[in-house]
Amino acid sequence: MADVKCAFIVQRPQYKGETSRLALTHALSYQTVEVLLDDGDTVTPSLCFVGEGVLGISKGQNAMAPYGINSSELHVKNCLLVDLDVYVCKEDLEKYGIPEDQLPDAADMEAEKTINVVPFAEIEKIMEEAKHVLFF
Amino acid sequence: MGVLTMGVFPGLVGSGSYDFAMKLAKAAADKGHVVNIWFSGNATVSVKAHQKHLKDYSTGEKYLVELLEKGVEICTCEACTISRGVQKTESIAKIQWNAMHWYLSKIHCADRVLQIGGE
């Protein structure tokens, strides 16, 4: 029985390339990984947005109407709904002039988790504690 | 010997990263390591069979068949693959099709993980 901690580091904007969007959906899949693991084994991802990765997660997105795709805001909300730990780098929000109240929550879904806006030093600590660090 | 799990996301054509990932996987397998490869994003197109290897373009099929013969487990993201119009019936034999949790399960058992990002 073992839990494997993974840090998913999203460092690119979600609408510029596909990979950073895939970070969110891959992190979400931790909910079903147990069907492929031995009893008691788990994977616990932490989803961290740094650098340009903070650019595509503001609330109020409407990707469905013009593009017919789910927004990265919805993916973030789904992550919160399934109790995934989501971190956003405070310094990078400030760098790009994004106020913290522009970030989404999933209160309308009755999620208990909220986004954690933290200094980069905290994200470094998450990376140090993880067994595997994946950059998207 | 260790277990190496690779997440490969770049497209087959237009990036040297895909070729690098395949050559690295072969080197690891040749050394006796257990290697798992997960394809997502544009890399999933590379599972289509009957690729013609023209010298101006990278090919995936030659490497993938060789890796499968060495016992490397290769799995493609079903959603990413069918969204690009590639059907399971067109796939290179013995490549697995599954969902993203396959990758996480192989991360769980891995000693090392290499995430080869896409564009």
Q: What is the arithmetic mean of pLDDT over A88-100? A: 98
| CA angle (A38 as vertex; A37, A40 as ends), nearest 5 | 105
Confidence class for position B77, pLDDT limits 50, 70, 90: very high
B73 within some domain:
yes
Q: What is the arithmetic mean of pLDDT over A77-105? A: 98
Domain A3-135 coded CATH 3.40.1260.10: yes
Given this model, what pLDDT does residue A16 score?
A: 85
Given this model, what pLDDT does residue A62 score?
A: 93
A to B CB pairs, distance under 8 Å: 64
A1 touches chain B (CB under 8 A): no
Given this model, what pLDDT does residue B89 score?
A: 97
Confidence class for position A12, pLDDT limits 50, 70, 90: very high
Q: What is the arithmetic mean of pLDDT over B73-85? A: 98
The alpha-carbon radius of gyration of chain A (Å, integer) is: 15
Given this model, what pLDDT does residue B87 score?
A: 97
**Structural domain for B95, as ranges:** 1-10+38-45+60-119
| pLDDT at A78 > cutoff 80 | yes
CATH code for the domain in which residue B87 is found: 3.40.1260.10
The sign of the dihedral angle between the CA atoms of B63, B69, B70, B75 is positive
B79 within some domain:
yes
Listed by start position, the domains of chain A span 3-135
ipTM over 0.90: yes
Distance CA A49, CA A119 (A): 11
Which residue of B lies nearest to A10 if distances are taken between CA atoms?
B117
Domains identified in chain B, total number: 1
Share of chain A above pLDDT 70, in %: 100
Q: Which of A19, A36, A41 sits opposite B117 (nearest CB)?
A: A19
Q: What is the arithmetic mean of pLDDT over B79-99? A: 97
Interchain proximity B110–A132, CB inside 8 Å: yes
Q: What is the arithmetic mean of pLDDT over B41-48? A: 96
B28 within some domain:
no
Q: What is the pLDDT of residues B27-43, one digit of tens each?
A: 999 999 999 999 999 99
B92 within some domain:
yes
DSSP codes joined into one string, B68-117: HHTT-EEEEEHHHHHHTT--GGGBPTT-EEE-THHHHHHHHT-SEEEEE-
B32 within some domain:
no
